[in-house]
A and B are shown apart, each in its own frame.
Chain A
Amino acid sequence: MPVTYFAGWTPPPSVVPGADVTRATPRFPWQESLNASQTVSTTPGPITNPQRAKGYKIPGVQTIEEDTLYTSQMMWTTCFPFSAPAILKKIYVHIGRDKDADPAVTSEYNLNPVYGGVAPDGFAAGSTVALAAGDPTLDFVVTTEVSSLFSPEDRSRTDVEVTRNHFSFSNDLFRAVPWPNIGSFTDMNPAGWPGGGPFGWMIPLNVDVPLHQNSRLRVNLALPPGTTTSYPYNSPWGGTPWGEAQWGLTVVVLEEITS
């Protein structure tokens, strides 16, 4: 029978009165994708999974420690354990933003996923896959993994069930033709969401993957790192990428009929 999991939230706004209000803190549940540095432990253990997931590398961001542009992306991981066999049917990722073209909207979330003036490292003009300013970004990743039964905490041994990487989620607009402006359609109550009609992106993943008994499914969403002055990557996600959009994750699973 179908079972629906939902998670999501609206992050704090980026620019508000008062010096202590930014999207910089807190950023949970987003955590760094790389497990390398640790400064707090007096008896640090060995790092067992330098990479928390597979297949999330994006243009211009190197996840190999030896690379000079080595840095961590931001990852939101949710684990879904299943004691009985199930079928992972569908995943939807909602990245919501405001419809700033609507005159009634005071835009607080206005992510525009195109590259800026500096192309990602290794993807400049002349490279095999050239990316230029104004091109849609290829910097958001969704992966799903199932842990190995025989080595459940070794992330290099997970089964990747579905991954979307190196894709432009600009093609996954919530609605290709923008939703009409506030006041131009019959709304639900409470009417007049200040960000306008549904806008942004809805990324559907048709999965249809059987999950074995005692499986541990992980859904990972990966963002680019926050940009800094020293990092030559012109990301539209800015310095606090986790705060640039409203987030929604819907996972649909088929589970058993039982006695």
Chain B
Amino acid sequence: MTKIRRPNLTRGTKLLVEHTHAPLVAIAGDLNTASVGEENLTENKGTFRVNLHIPYLANDYAFSTYTSQTYGGVANAFGAEGEPFSIPFTLPPFQQQFSFDNTSKEPVVTEATPKITMTELSLSFDQRAEPVSIVDFVTPQAAAPATEPLANTTTAYEMDHDEVSAYNIQLSIWEKKPTFFNGPVDIERTVFNAPISSDNLSGTFDRGVGGVGNPTILRDLGVPIDPFKTYGISIRMPALGKLAGAPNVRNHALVSVQISMKFKSTMSERDIYGSPYNLSNKPTKDTNGAIRDAAVTGLSTTILTPAPQTIITADDTTGVNTQIATIDEVYRKKLSGGYTDNAEVAAMQQLADDSCLEVISVPMFNNRRQGGIYADTWDGVEPYTSGARADLWERKIIPLFYPFVIHHVVLAWNWQRFIPVAFSGASGLVPAWEQCQTAMTAEVGVGLGTGMKGDAFGYQQVAALSISDPKTPATWETHLIDKIKTTRNWAAQRAGTDIDWEMHQVPLVPGAGVAASGNGSSWFSTNVPMFAGKAWSPTAARTVMEGSGAASRTFGQEQFLEVRMKLGTLPVAPANSGEVIVGYQGHWVYIIGKKSIT
């Protein structure tokens, strides 16, 4: 690709073809070979987001100060300080740029590594369209003796004009080096910190004045992102619950919380079937067919250069103005690239760099009755656990509208503690205390599905991971990327199990029950990237699944992504009934790939 530059000439310089026509020839060459790179584009960065929807945040998590007295038979159960609620994420490089020194475990960063910047952070929640706070379904905890909180059966869900100050929020974005790259478990750096005062939330005209309130939009952040590091968002709301000695007398909840982190990254080349990877499930029309490959089909823009020893003119056949007009005409018609929603590409393309990162964030086992799932009450409370069934299941279906290429799948496993609520008024619930010590098995899978409003049906496995026994690294940490400690007092009270989050790679695989080929690039062995996108007839023909050679079981007609989890051999009679199986508001599965302009 050529960085187009116009030569600066001093007064009196004799015009040569190298000064006038050569740059135009270079431009035409890029246009004709679909080689217009991001370096020649003014707007050369794509936009993507990490979107996190949390159904509610309430006082079944220790946002506010809690007594340090014995609770549920556990001494100093919650410490004396509120804790932040956190969600980690990572934005790894595409497989083509994913490289690290396997001896030193140091990532290799090159010029091609995506340059990512966080540009915006937004937060919104549901105040019922009024300048109020929403009363929690959890009653304030008794000061002494400490008992587990009860369900609020009288005023839950009501509007509270008095105590909007409960919504004083502090948002933090933090960063750490993953343990995979020999980083610590502690957060290393707060890269961004934003207090959100509740002042605006009492307004009747605009509760988001100046981008602060509901919604909050913090713009122009300019936070550089290291693609090999773990990032996370933490939310502190110390007044969400009733505080000893504070004016607020009720507990409150933040409802339908939508967090969106917006990023921009330099555009990259669209993935092709060819070096370095033979992509799985790639439409063949764009690769093996005689048409539509960006490298094959281009324009035939011709720049006519004056013959030697002739005068360089402006407007005749080989004139400078005539040739510039030729180039201008192409640009007026705009440059093409990317995919349509049916995985079709433009008949003639000019852009080489038309793609950037894409992240689809999928919550799993969220919005549970007790905030999370723990050993004391999962049996019979969770769906499908009554009767003979003894496994926990979760499934999310995400329709595909635009295509993208899946490069990585990451599971963020949540161990964050929570405070079970006694809904019947009965006492005796113990706090969700420490991470599961029983030989639990965890399976997570990502599949492409077809059959939505259609005749055909089927699944093609995209990624799968099975781990077991959280206390045994040999079976639980086979694909561990990171361990993270996001709380202070809570973690300190759990010697040996003081981790709040884990990040696991879910390797791409060629099919259900088939091991990864290892031909891809990631933290651990994985398959090469896989195309995912609905099709019309011309784009339904696809390449085979790399690693197995089998055709996709969705026949090039995938319509949705399905993320599925199964937790088995659970502790029905655990040694410690407070063992956390799923932390507060659940796990997250990040499907990370490369999307293109449309």
Binding site for B on A (CB under 8 A): 1-13, 15-21, 25-29, 31-32, 35, 37-45, 47-49, 52, 76-81, 83, 89-90, 92, 94, 96, 106, 108-109, 151-153, 155, 173-177, 179-180, 185-191, 193-195, 197-198, 202, 204, 216, 246, 248-250, 252, 254-259
Contact = CB atoms under 8 A, between A and B. Distances in A.
Interface string B129-147: 1111011010000000000
A39 B260 contact: no
A80 to B, nearest CB: 7
Given A9-B55, A153-B207, A189-B564, 19 more contacts: A1-B47, A1-B48, A5-B51, A6-B51, A6-B53, A9-B363, A12-B381, A21-B369, A25-B137, A28-B253, A37-B158, A38-B158, A76-B256, A79-B125, A79-B126, A83-B217, A106-B386, A195-B395, A257-B597
Given A9-B363, A191-B512, A204-B399, A77 B562 contact: no
Interface string B425-452: 1100000000000000001110101011
Interface in B137-163: 137, 151, 155-162
Contacts of A5: 49, 51, 53, 258, 260
B401 A173 contact: no
Given A38-B161, A83-B217, A4 B512 contact: no
Contact of B393 (A29, A48, A193, A216): A193
Given A7-B53, A89-B401, A257-B47, A188 B381 contact: no
Contact of B130 (A35, A94, A152): A35
Given A6-B360, A20-B422, A35-B159, A255 B258 contact: no
Given A10-B383, A89-B401, A153-B205, A3 B49 contact: yes
A94 B45 CA distance: 33
15 contacts: A4-B358, A6-B51, A6-B53, A19-B424, A20-B422, A20-B424, A20-B425, A21-B369, A40-B158, A43-B162, A155-B129, A175-B454, A195-B384, A202-B452, A258-B45
A77 B126 contact: yes
A122 to B, nearest CB: 27
B223 to A, nearest CB: 15
A253 to B, nearest CB: 9
Contact of A8 (B363, B455, B458): B363
Interface string B382-406: 1111110101011111110110100
Contacts of B120: 83
A11 B130 CA distance: 27
B397 A28 contact: no
A4 B394 CA distance: 20
B276 interface: no
B208 A106 contact: no
Contacts of B44: 257, 259
B399 A250 contact: yes
B42 interface: yes
A94 to B, nearest CB: 6
Contacts, number: 318
Q: Count chain B CB atoms within 10 A of each CB in A13, A39, A40, A189 and give the residue with the most.
A: A189
B399 A29 contact: no
Contacts of A29: 55-56, 126, 255-256, 367
B130 A79 contact: no
Given A26-B137, A78-B126, A177-B455, A41 B46 contact: no
B371 to A, nearest CB: 9
Contacts of A52: 128-129
Given A28-B253, A250-B398, A39 B129 contact: no
B445 A194 contact: no
Interface string B338-372: 00000000000000000010101111001111000
Contacts of A258: 43, 45, 47, 119, 264
Contacts of A81: 122, 124, 208, 215, 217, 260
B459 interface: yes
A190 B208 contact: no
B130 A176 contact: no
B499 interface: no
Given A2-B401, A81-B122, A254-B598, A28 B512 contact: no
A8 B52 CA distance: 11
Contact of B129 (A35, A177, A194, A195): A35
A176 B452 CA distance: 8
B222 interface: no
B277 interface: no
B206 interface: yes
A11 B55 CA distance: 11
A28 B260 contact: no
Interface of A: prevailing SS = loop
B566 interface: yes
Nearest to B135: A40
Contacts of A26: 56, 58, 137, 156, 369
Given A8-B396, A77-B256, A180-B457, A25 B423 contact: yes
A11 B250 CA distance: 26
Given A35-B129, A49-B129, A185-B458, A80 B124 contact: yes
Contact of B386 (A16, A78, A79): A16
B549 interface: no
B73 interface: no
A194 B367 contact: no
Given A9-B366, A35-B130, A81-B208, A43 B161 contact: yes
Nearest to A27: B157
A25 B562 CA distance: 28
Contacts of B211: 83
Nearest to B371: A26
Contacts of A80: 124, 258, 260
Contacts of B48: 1, 3
A19 B381 CA distance: 11
Contacts of B401: 2, 4, 89-90, 252
Nearest to B464: A189
A68 B598 CA distance: 52
B504 to A, nearest CB: 15
A255 to B, nearest CB: 5
B3 interface: no
B595 interface: yes
A26 B29 CA distance: 63
